[in-house]
Amino acid sequence: MSRVQVLLAAVCFGTTGTAQALGPDGLAPAGVGAARILVGGALLVLVAILLHGVRALTRVQGRPALVAAAGVAVYQLAFFAAVRDTGVAVGTIVALGSAPTLAGAFEWALERRVPSRAWALATALASAGVAMLALAGGADASISPLGVALALVAGAAYAAYTLAAKRMLGAGNAPETVMAVAFGLGAVALAPVLAVTGAGWLTRADGIGLAVFLGIVPTALAYLLFAHGLRRLTAAETATLTLAEPLTAVLLGVVVLSERLTLPAACGAGLVLAGMLALAAPARRPAPAWQ
């Protein structure tokens, strides 16, 4: 059930691109990301207060909460900066592809938890699939050292956020409370970004609709599912499962936006699915030795 929850979260994450394509034109991506976190963070705080009360928010451990909030904010800024500098393809490959590996490395370094072979196989397959999906999306696959570095920062921020959230959940905090603290503080950090990029589009009906959708579906709902799944999974495994996000984005592009599915994209989708199946397959038990 936990893997299903994380996969459903990844499906929600994957609606972001299609929603932006159907929304107002000419918006600054960083501003849209900031608005998404502001709306989603406010909703998550409201849900947490209704379910667990205000005092539950004050009982969350300070250091993991700050790390998670920093991860939320830094990911948004670093990812959009990376895409602007080195292109969508390379930025997506490095950011999404590095997050599961970095999550596994952080988990090993901080908690001495060695990722399983199934996780390594699934991550390799899914990351290769993400690379094919991204490269199939266009010819902007130019390499910029600064852009690649920013994408790695985004991947590390996502991994750090996942590990910090896992630690808060392990301390007995409710998933709703953990997400409310992380995204509430993250929203405060990102508020200046929306002010700098311009918030005039939020006065239009289509702009408000986009912000509300992004705040509800790929943020509040998605991260509540993410947190509930993370409670029983490792941070590395959870990060790998969220690689289903670009697969969802591609499928929605074909179905909703009438985009053409190229052969490389189809192969990439198949690799992502293979990675998800490898991670979902039950571990083999050794055969009993004959006496």
- What is the chain's pLDDT, residue by residue, as a tens digit (291 residues)? 899 999 999 999 989 988 988 889 888 888 999 999 999 999 999 999 999 999 999 999 889 999 999 999 999 999 888 887 877 667 777 888 888 888 888 888 888 888 788 888 888 998 898 888 777 765 555 667 888 899 899 999 999 999 999 999 999 999 999 999 999 999 999 999 999 999 999 999 999 999 999 999 999 999 999 999 999 999 989 998 998 988 888 888 888 888 887 888 888 888 888 888 887 665 554 444 443
pLDDT at 229: 95
pLDDT for res 247: 85
**Length of the chain counted residue by residue:** 291
CA-closest candidate to residue 211, choices 41, 79, 48, 11: 41
Domain ranges for the chain, please list them.
2-21+30-280
pLDDT of residue 172: 94
Of the candidates 190, 251, 228, the residue with the CA atom closest to the CA atom of residue 34: 190
What pLDDT does 282 receive? 54
DSSP one-letter string for the chain: -HHHHHHHHHHHHTTHHHHHHHS-SS--HHHHHHHHHHHHHHHHHHHHHHHH-HHHHHTS-HHHHHHHHHHHHHHHHHHHHHHHHH-HHHHHHHHHHHHHHHHHHHHHHHH--PPPHHHHHHHHHHHHHHHHHHHHT-S-----HHHHHHHHHHHHHHHHHHHHHHHHHHTT--HHHHHHHHHHHHHHHHHHHHHHH--GGGGSHHHHHHHHHHHIIIIIIHHHHHHHHHTTS-HHHHHHHTTHHHHHHHHHHHHTS-----HHHHHHHHHHHHHHHHHHSPPPPPPPPP-
pTM for this model (two decimals):
0.87
pLDDT at 224: 97
In this predicted structure, what is the pLDDT of residue 168?
95
